[in-house]
């Protein structure tokens, strides 16, 4: 589908297409409760809604991203509930059958996350895991019994670390999609930084994109505590 994108909102890339393809194969999608974290333009949330999800909620910390998703939902005549806030905090107390996320995961020379500007759509701390680690810890708390988390990111950020973190959170996790591609402009510009930190071998200029699927077994209880923050809702 053709999407609108306000200035400063990161547009869909190959990783978006990868996770959408996996979402379409999920048996719990049709009629299910779906949460899209770090929604950006809303591409993943809207794909889930168009494929028959029963209820879709999209969350992003950036006002422009929430507005962009709202505009795209209106343009596509799709129903999506929009929340602005920090990851799962805006949906505290709710449970979902599918939790989806294509978060920022590009390593940067800054320790923290940017607070404004387009870099919020890709920068993710020194090792690229500032948001990935939090999603692995927090997302299980909003998964219904038997619920599934789908998370896409670059192998530069360590796939084994993601799988191990999800397993520690009580989920059964595995990689269900992989694709190798040349570095894009961002990683190419930061290749020396990635080498110096040991995130890639010297001379590597390709990355593996992966989709990790993690399931909460029906008898398991969420193991992570919910974070609380002041959030706002765009109705």
Tell me the pLDDT tens digit for each residue of 56-115: 999 999 999 999 999 999 999 999 999 999 999 999 999 999 999 999 999 998 878 888
pLDDT tens-digit readout, 168-220: 999 999 999 999 999 999 999 999 999 999 999 999 999 999 999 999 986 54
Contact in structure between 53 and 150 (CB atoms under 8 Å): no
Contact in structure between 33 and 99 (CB atoms under 8 Å): no
pLDDT tens-digit readout, 5-64: 999 999 999 999 999 999 999 999 999 999 999 999 999 999 999 999 999 999 999 999
pLDDT tens-digit readout, 112-135: 888 888 888 899 999 999 999 999
What is the set of domains in the chain, with CATH numbers? 14-180+209-218 (3.40.50.150)
Given a cut of 60, is residue 145 above it in pLDDT? yes
Distances (CA, A) of 103 to 65, 81, 99, 115: 13, 19, 12, 15
Given a cut of 60, is residue 164 above it in pLDDT? yes
- Our CA angle for 170, 173, 174, nearest 5°, is 170
Residue 225, Cα to own-chain centre: how many angstroms? 19
Residue 229, pLDDT score: 35
β-bridge pairing 143-154 and 172-182: unpaired
Give 178's contacts (C-beta < 8 A, 6+ positions apart). Answer: 208, 209, 210, 211
Residue 219, pLDDT score: 59
Give CA–CA dist 69/172, Å, rounded.
Answer: 31
């Amino acid at each position: 589908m053709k999407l609108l994108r306000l200035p400063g909102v990161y547009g869909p890339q190959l990783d978006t297409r990868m996770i959408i393809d996996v979402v379409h194969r999920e048996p719990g999608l049709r009629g299910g409760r779906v949460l899209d974290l770090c929604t950006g333009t809303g591409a993943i949330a809207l794909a889930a809604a168009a494929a028959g999800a029963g209820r879709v909620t999209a969350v992003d910390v950036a006002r422009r991203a929430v507005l962009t998703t709202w505009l795209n939902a209106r343009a596509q005549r799709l129903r999506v509930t929009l929340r602005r806030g920090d990851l799962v905090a805006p949906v505290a107390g709710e449970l979902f059958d599918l939790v989806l996320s294509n978060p920022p995961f590009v390593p940067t020379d800054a320790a923290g996350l940017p607070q404004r500007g387009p870099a919020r759509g890709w920068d993710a701390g020194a090792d690229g895991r500032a948001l990935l680690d939090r999603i692995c810890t927090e997302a299980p708390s909003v998964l219904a019994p038997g619920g599934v988390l789908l998370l896409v990111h670059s192998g530069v950020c360590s796939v084994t670390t993601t799988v191990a973190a999800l397993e520690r959170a009580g989920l059964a996790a595995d990689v269900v999609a992989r694709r190798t591609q040349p570095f894009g402009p961002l990683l190419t510009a930061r290749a020396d930084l990635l080498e110096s930190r040991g995130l890639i071998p010297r001379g590597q200029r390709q990355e593996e994109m992966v989709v990790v699927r993690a399931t909460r077994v029906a008898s398991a209880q969420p193991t992570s505590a919910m974070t609380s923050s002041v959030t706002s809702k765009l109705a």
